[in-house]
Amino acid sequence: MTSKTIVGAGFGVTLLAAVAGTALADDKLTELSPDGKDACFGRVYDAAHLKAHPHQKVARIFFYYGNDPVSHPNEEPSSAPSGYNGFMTTTVRGAKKPEWVGGWCGKDDPRSSEIGCGMECDRTMALLNVDEKGRLIVSGVHRNLYLDAGAEDELGEKEYAKQALGTEDDGFRLDRMPAQTCKAEFARIDPVDPALGAPLRERLEPDQPFCYGRDYDAAHLGSHPDQLTQTIRVFRGPIELASFAKDGDPTNWPSGAEIAVSVTTRQKSAEVTQSYSCEGEADQWRCVASGRTSDFSCDIAAREIYLRRGANGTMMLANPNSSLPIIDLCSADSETRSDDRVYRLEPIPQSACRP
């Protein structure tokens, strides 16, 4: 089955293909936003309208002109804007959450009242016009808006009709609404868990020591007989801070951040410490094992752990490929086969980690 398109995948009018991300995206579309601020248009169709239009699948539609209303703050450093300035979300009948696309909106002819919105791969999102009452007319919406190119041939007529938009899903007339209304609608796509709080890169400063850990009691270990870890600490101390102060770039934090992980196991009460170098990657830190704290006879560059913010100030550590020093990293299998895969760690005093 053809996969649904994610943001930016495949939409654009031909006229926008070459310069959509530059000149056209920089044009100020005063028809959409007379005051230069983010603009929102939307419509929720009532039961009477949908009954009168049986071939219209879209029950809710919103168009947002402005900054990205979808992406969450993540662990990557802030980067240049994508150039997208137009975002559309629709919810079809019976669906629990919306689908969405985003791209570039601009004019090929400044004398024309029509605005073209294009997506990557030279596909069209929509054509826009503002009527005399200030409503947004959205036309040129293809049935395969959320599908890959060529989906009709790949899926077959019956499945395509099921996954594609309806034959009456075009020519939408949207009312101008407060920007917050659109933001709330886009938030339905991937709701933010408020318990997660700020991403780690904001919670943990480049020059800030930290210590997270957990000590597993007999009851927990008794119910997890395949877990090797008895205690675990994840921290940045004076050594890691000094290393980043010397060679790191705070503007790209957490890229280049060094951390250390110390563990004890059921079999060995002596603490073993392993160093890692981290990079921001979407909503997590990807941390690669380094040889700074150990003298390895093998290449351990493939040994990675992942840090992610947990609820209520906790930190999640994932160990999917045997990358913690609970076993010999040189002889470890590529996949973690014990119960030492995911840890929920609490912030603890720095004194509980290496001073």
Of 75, 355, 348, nearest in space to 232 by CA: 348
What is the number of other CB atoms lying within 10 angstroms of the CB of residue 167?
13
Instruction: Pick 28 or 278 by higher pLDDT.
Output: 278
The amino acid present at 136, given as its one-letter code, is L
Which residues neighbour 340 within 8 Å (Cβ) at sequence distance 6 or greater?
A: 227, 228, 229, 319, 324, 326
At 12 the pLDDT is 30
7 assigned to some structural domain? no
Long-range contacts of 264-271 (CB under 8 A, 24+ apart): 264/229, 264/230, 264/231, 265/228, 265/229, 265/230, 265/326, 266/221, 266/228, 266/230, 267/228, 269/230, 271/231
Q: Are residues 268 and 145 in the same domain?
A: no
Q: Are residues 301 and 186 in the same domain?
A: no
329 assigned to some structural domain? yes
pTM above the 0.75 mark? no
Q: Are residues 184 and 204 in the same domain?
A: no
At 191 the pLDDT is 86
Residue 312 burial (10 A CB sphere; 0-12, 13-18, 19+): exposed
CA–CA dist 152, 252 (Å, integer) = 43
Q: Are residues 242 and 327 in the same domain?
A: yes
Contact 104, 86 (CB under 8 A): yes
Q: Are residues 181 and 296 in the same domain?
A: no
CA–CA dist 177, 181 (Å, integer) = 7
Phi, psi values for residue 214, rounded to 5°: -160, 140
Q: Where are the beta strands (DSSP E) in the chain?
A: 39-44, 58-65, 86-92, 99-106, 115-119, 123-130, 136-139, 172-177, 210-215, 229-236, 257-265, 272-281, 284-289, 304-309, 315-318, 342-347
pLDDT in tens, 59-95: 999 999 999 998 888 898 765 556 789 999 999 999 9
Q: Are residues 35 and 128 in the same domain?
A: yes
The least confident of 33-37, 90-94, 291-295 is 291-295
Q: Are residues 205 and 294 in the same domain?
A: yes
9 assigned to some structural domain? no
Q: Are residues 81 and 176 in the same domain?
A: yes
End-to-end Cα, the chain, rounded Å: 55
pLDDT in tens, 173-200: 999 999 999 999 999 998 888 899 999 9
pLDDT band at 302 (very low <50, low <70, confident <90, very high): confident
Q: Which of 148, 173, 192 is the last residue in one of the domains?
A: 192
Q: Are residues 204 and 166 in the same domain?
A: no
pLDDT greater than 60 at residue 10: no
CA–CA dist 27, 24 (Å, integer) = 5
Q: Is the peptide bond before 254 cis (omega within 30 degrees of 0)?
A: yes
Instruction: Pick 135 or 293 by higher pLDDT.
Output: 135
Q: Are residues 277 and 153 in the same domain?
A: no
CATH number of the structural domain spanning residue 211:
2.40.128
CA–CA dist 253, 205 (Å, integer) = 8
Strand partners, 264: 231
345 assigned to some structural domain? yes
The amino acid present at 234, given as its one-letter code, is V
107 assigned to some structural domain? yes
Of 277, 305, 279, nearest in space to 291 by CA: 277
- Tally of CA atoms within 13 A in the half-sphere of 314 that contains its CB: 13
Q: Where are the alpha helices (DSSP H) in the chain?
A: 25-26, 47-52, 151-155, 157-163, 179-187, 200-203, 218-223, 238-247
Q: Which of 192, 215, 237 is the last residue in one of the domains?
A: 192
List C-alpha distances in Å: 355 to 113, 184, 203, 225, 270: 66, 45, 21, 32, 17
At 254 the pLDDT is 95
Q: Are residues 183 and 113 in the same domain?
A: yes
Q: Are residues 225 and 152 in the same domain?
A: no
3 assigned to some structural domain? no
* Mean pLDDT for the stretch of residues 327-347: 86
Q: What one-character DSSP code corresponds to residue 167?
A: T
Total residue count of the chain as it appears in this document: 355
99 assigned to some structural domain? yes
3-class DSSP state of 239: helix
CA–CA dist 114, 111 (Å, integer) = 9
Domain count, the chain: 2
Task: Write out the residue range of the structural domain in which residue 299 sits.
Answer: 200-352
Q: Which of 192, 227, 250 is the last residue in one of the domains?
A: 192
216 assigned to some structural domain? yes
